[in-house]
Amino acid sequence: MLLTRFVRPTSKPLVLRRLFSTTPLSTLWNPTSEHAALRETLRSFVAQEVEPQARTFNAQEQFNVSLFRKLANLGLLGLTVPEIEYGGTGWTEYTATAVCAVHEELSYSDPAFCLSYLAHSLLFVNNLSVNASPEQKARFLPPACDGRHIGGMCMSEPQAGTDVLGMQTKAVPDGEHHWRLTGTKLWITNGTLNGQDTGDLFLVYARTGPGKTDLTQFIVEKGMEGFRLGQKINNKLGMRASMTAELIFDQVPIPNENIVGKVHGATLCMMRNLEIERLGLAAMSVGIARRCIDEMKAYALERTAFGAKNLFAFGQIQRMVAESYAEYMAGRSYVYAVANALDLSTHGNGLDADGTKLFCAPMAKTVADRAIQVMGGNGYTGEYNVERLWRDAKLMEIGGGTNESHRKNMSRDLRKMGSTRLD
């Protein structure tokens, strides 16, 4: 099958559908025919291109750059960019649902590869699409959408992870036209692509004033004076085909035209982008869970034991398969229900963005653990996929917000509702 760039048609208006009890559940994750076509294209691409390389690149702890650039041919690197002139695909409605579909399908085979895609497409490209000026979009989005440049976002630091407002990286004015950026960022996905030097482009959050929320976004480009790779993080538990790095900023001169949004105004940009990031991570968890269920079902059907035709004869196996499916479907439904209602240009959707990830991240890890248990010793080895997926799933409980931070955020939001009843 020849895969072509998927561009959402603009001439056919979307018909909004209410989800009545007679509507099939599949309408949640494929609300339009365009979404169904996107998912079908993705599944073919994943089967032909992503699945064959997943085990090798994860074992070698290498990022498959050439495969990543092929995503541009499908229109996936500019999925959330509505303006086609900037390299976007033209999605304007149910865009978050399309985002979730891509992350679910890629993670079905290679969550690490998908994590690098998330860092580029959501943390860099989507952030620019929503917050950058027209001049910045024209300059930086086309090469990011066609794969020439691979980007990321720099928020976490050695002493500031979940406590993001405790970051120490700072930028100070240097004359009328430049700033000087100084600090260290850690756990940066796509921070390096080859282990030798930095990635191409980064949105860097830095402190620019004395106030707690006086943060500003700067675009930092590979090769800027004072910008260098600190180290590539090796021997991670999982997500090994996604490069993670420490980046050093030593008095990096940043021109004013590389400031995204307003000076001191990046906190809102950060919180708004966290919503789609967390939804994307939840969708990744859904993809991991679906693959693990497929693997444990297939194994249970083929394996004989104690004279039984297959493992489905045993109640312990029935429980693990059935509970895994029910929890997967609950998580998938939650993710796509939230995605269908999410407008990427808005903010204030944190309760359910946190909620989807809080539910789906441990769900995926639990389902992967059950898959290993069903397969016994075979599931514990690298020959089978579930041990890699189990290792990858753990990051979902840490990256993009820990389980603990989600509980804190959700409790805060629910408390603010006071006695208002839930819908």
Residues with catalytic function: 277
Cα separation, 69 vs 313, in Å, equals: 46
217: part of which helix (H) or strand (E)? strand 215-221
Question: For the chain, first and last CA: distance in Å?
Answer: 46
| Beta pairing partners, 178 | 174, 255
Residue 1 carries which DSSP code? Answer: -
| Beta pairing partners, 244 | 189
381 contacts: CB under 8 Å, gap ≥ 6? 387
Q: What are the percentages of helix, strand and coil residues in the chain, rounded to 5?
A: 50, 15, 35
- Are the CB atoms for 338 and 356 separated by under 8 Å? yes
Cα separation, 90 vs 245, in Å, equals: 33
- For 320: left if phi > 0, alpha if psi spans -120 to 50, otherwise beta; the answer is alpha
Cα separation, 275 vs 77, in Å, equals: 19
55 contacts: CB under 8 Å, gap ≥ 6? 382, 385, 388
Cα separation, 166 vs 239, in Å, equals: 27
| Beta pairing partners, 221 | 201
Cα separation, 160 vs 405, in Å, equals: 13
- CB 408: neighbour CB atoms within 10 A? 14
Residue 129 carries which DSSP code? Answer: H
| Beta pairing partners, 265 | 215
Cα separation, 73 vs 213, in Å, equals: 39
| Beta pairing partners, 252 | 181
Residue 46 carries which DSSP code? Answer: I
Residue at 369: amino acid letter: D
